[in-house]
Amino acid sequence: MAELLQGAPELALEWHRAGRGAALATVVQTWGSAPRRVGAQMVVSGDGQLEGSVSGGCVEGAVMLEAMDSLETGKGILLEFGVSDGDAFAVGLACGGTIKVLVEPVGSVLSEEVLAELVSARAERKAVAYVCDAETGGGRLTSDGFEERFRMDRSGVEEDGRFVAIHNPPLRLAIVGAVHIAQALVPMARIAGFDPVLVDPRSAFGSEARFPGETIIDEWPDEAMQRIGLDARTALVLLTHDPKLDDPALHIALKSPAFYVGALGSSRTHAKRVERLKGAGFSAEEIDRIHGPIGLDIGAASPSEIAVSIMGEMLRVLRKGA
């Protein structure tokens, strides 16, 4: 299930190929209470259209003019802005800050080939880093190195002056079992930036009435896992307590690069799960990937509290490792 994105890189490529011209503006450094984080992007066309944001509204106009000039000259430019206290307050901050924005005209600085490769990687849910000189731009893509930056979704300038823009696929959460915990977990996941997908072949559970507007796959979990595709930006949470539903999903998940696999159940239930997996030929290392009993040990009791503990554990694993 590749996800088609329409962010600044996609628009930049579209506008460039349409002959409108396009310059990509990227926040490369920030100090103080900067409105946007490093890596935030905005695209400007040669006829003055802009999409995206590098400052929450404070300096977009100035960046647009500089970007249009860069399209005329064919040169990249590094801009620095101080966001005043007044402007910062207008975009919801308590105090000002400073940002540096790198502007790269597509074609002359940021090559069309590299941009097309980036757009393709994003559509295919491949994690890539765009690496360039922080002052002049014009870089390349790589999937090697920068493990900490990939894990933390953290773009930034290296000590050698290179800027590394991290392009990770969107986070996803596959939930097997459309139960009460899932009703609390789905909205929490959305707030945290995950795209949730529910899997439950039982129509009484996985219904539109119980989960309005959500993606629900009413297939058996092993078939659903194949459709979803468990990659390194996907978490899997098993909530059914039923081996007939949980185990087929586990068999696929433990062979996948999914960053988190959690299964609901008591210590006794998990011990039985471990024995079944051993019998199915899974190694101790593979089985140890399962977080079970699921969630942080915070004494959670209600479905909502359990959802909080699951969400916390997922984020801890994502940002700090298993």
Q: Which of residues 117, 138, 167 is at a domain's end?
A: 167
Per DSSP, what are the bridge partners of residue 41?
26
Do 175 and 155 belong to one domain?
no
Q: What is the pLDDT of residue 113?
A: 97
51-60, 268-277, 288-297, range with the lowest pLDDT: 51-60
Q: What is the pLDDT of residue 1?
A: 37
Query: Could you tell me if residue 260 is inside a domain?
Result: yes
Do 154 and 295 belong to one domain?
no
Tens of pLDDT, residue by residue over 144-162, are: 989 899 988 999 999 999 9
Do 110 and 177 belong to one domain?
no
Please determine, for residue 92, whether its predicted confidence score (pLDDT) is greater than 90: no
CATH number for 290? 3.40.50.720
**Residue 135 burial by Cβ neighbours in a 10 Å radius (0-12, 13-18, 19+):** middle
Q: Which of residues 149, 167, 185 is at a domain's end?
A: 167
Q: What is the pLDDT of residue 198?
A: 96
Do 38 and 110 belong to one domain?
yes
Half-sphere exposure of 168 (CA within 13 A, CB side): 21
Domain interval for residue 282: 171-320
The fraction of the chain above a pLDDT of 90, given in percent, is 80
Q: Which of residues 167, 199, 222 is at a domain's end?
A: 167
Query: Could you tell me if residue 275 is inside a domain?
Result: yes
Indicate the pLDDT class of residue 4, thresholds 50, 70 and 90. very low
Please determine, for residue 57, whether its predicted confidence score (pLDDT) is greater than 90: no
Query: 146 with 203: CB under 8 angstroms?
Result: no
Do 192 and 145 belong to one domain?
no
Query: Could you tell me if residue 3 is inside a domain?
Result: no
Query: Which residues are CB-neighbours of 286 under 8 A, at least 6 positions away?
Result: 254, 255, 277
Q: What is the pLDDT of residue 89?
A: 54
Query: Could you tell me if residue 163 is inside a domain?
Result: yes
The Cα–Cα gap between 23 and 43 comes to 6
Q: What is the mean pLDDT of residues 250-268?
A: 95
Query: Which residues are CB-neighbours of 290 under 8 A, at least 6 positions away?
Result: 250, 254, 261, 262, 263, 270, 273, 274
Rounded to 5 degrees, what angle do the CA atoms 102, 150, 134 make? 20
Query: Could you tell me if residue 273 is inside a domain?
Result: yes
Do 156 and 102 belong to one domain?
yes
Query: Could you tell me if residue 2 is inside a domain?
Result: no
Do 160 and 256 belong to one domain?
no
Do 105 and 155 belong to one domain?
yes
Q: Which of 42, 44, 46 is nearest to 57 (CA)?
A: 42
Which token pair is 191? 């707030």
Do 64 and 193 belong to one domain?
no
Indicate the pLDDT class of residue 99, thresholds 50, 70 and 90. confident
Do 138 and 212 belong to one domain?
no
Which token pair is 76? 């990249």
Helices and strands, counts by H and E, the chain: 11, 15
Q: What is the pLDDT of residue 6?
A: 64
Do 131 and 245 belong to one domain?
no
| Order of all β-strands in the sheet with 156-157 | 137-142, 128-133, 162-167, 156-157
Per DSSP, what are the bridge partners of residue 29?
100
Query: Could you tell me if residue 206 is inside a domain?
Result: yes
Q: What pTM was computed for the model?
A: 0.79
Q: What is the mean pLDDT of residues 259-276?
A: 95
Please determine, for residue 93, whether its predicted confidence score (pLDDT) is greater than 60: no
The strand pair at 260-263 and 234-238 is best described as parallel
Q: What is the mean pLDDT of residues 15-38?
A: 89
Query: Could you tell me if residue 151 is inside a domain?
Result: yes
Tens of pLDDT, residue by residue over 206-254, are: 888 999 999 999 999 999 999 999 999 999 999 998 999 999 999 999 9
Number of domains present in the structure of the chain: 2
The chain-wide mean pLDDT, for the chain, equals 91
Please determine, for residue 66, whether its predicted confidence score (pLDDT) is greater than 80: yes
Do 159 and 21 belong to one domain?
yes
